[in-house]
Structure 1
């Protein structure tokens, strides 16, 4: 059967992007992608349609028994005093996995690429963190706070690229409690890190950080 003809490529691409195409069928589809532009175009089309829904979806934390089951299978028996650290680890892992899923969904399948990059931005004061992911084709940055950042109605969070030379470059305002997708074209080539500052509503009026830097993380491009 020729899967390149008719409506079949679009239907298979939809199942591929949704993750319902599994097993041998998915492996065959993966093998065909590099050689067939029609398949790649169909996959890119479905990724474009589904990405907005992925960005709007609320995070659903897994039940505690899921993590307990995973730990049992791994043979982990952490002491009681480490329970809070374990919860924080799994929260970070889950958020990072969500970011990976989104940045992978924004990548077009033109052949083998590097694994998506995950950057953790640590709070300059406190223990909160923000996770950022860079897609393998460098086309998208997805960033999400692990804990909601408390803001007043007249405040915003702004993401900055920290360059090796020169002042930081704004990458735009980001959400305080959910995932934000940022276009990579604003990312300078000499970026060495990311930072998030507290700014007036809508972002810095000067093009440079005006408020305190709340989060900082290293980035290697």
Structure 2
């Protein structure tokens, strides 16, 4: 495994790649590493090699699924807030209730003609610690997925990526990036549209331009379940 040498990270990029895979990089080093990862193919190969190397340690261990409450309690005691894979982070929140609050959104889109029997779907996406307030909306008539950002700053050097989790067993699928303007509109395929009812939507913070790996690499900012709501 090899990588560029011009870095201030302790141990160089290769050592940082191992710590990145293990989730041990401090926040400032993590941002520097992910910025380099986007443009450095050799570093991406280092990350893949370390993932395979560490995964080999578990080859002889029989898988035993602990109860979710014990797993969460153990991870909290050992690591505080672990940087777990996106689908593991989503499970505790998957059945969370969807809060009401979309009067302005309804006012904007309530006049659209409804020619489909499928209801519109909504999900609140909020991150109180960052002051982010977003609302996801899927309109089946136009087959358009929308995200409106009502509050919170969008970092200049990062991107917010939208992920669809059809069910707890399915890996996240990227729908696209949250636009830096107030409203994001993304036409979706028939395949994606069929999975949206009842699915979970997640927003993650990624390197500029989106995840370089096709899977979420940054922290999950918010989660919400797409459900129909009564129009006011």
The TM-score by the shorter chain falls in which range? 0.3 to 0.5
Per residue, is there more helix in 1 or in 2? 1
Larger RCO: Structure 1 or Structure 2 (Cα < 8 Å, ≥ 6 residues apart)?
A: 2
TM-score, with normalisation over the residues of structure 2? 0.46
TM-score, with normalisation over the residues of structure 1? 0.48
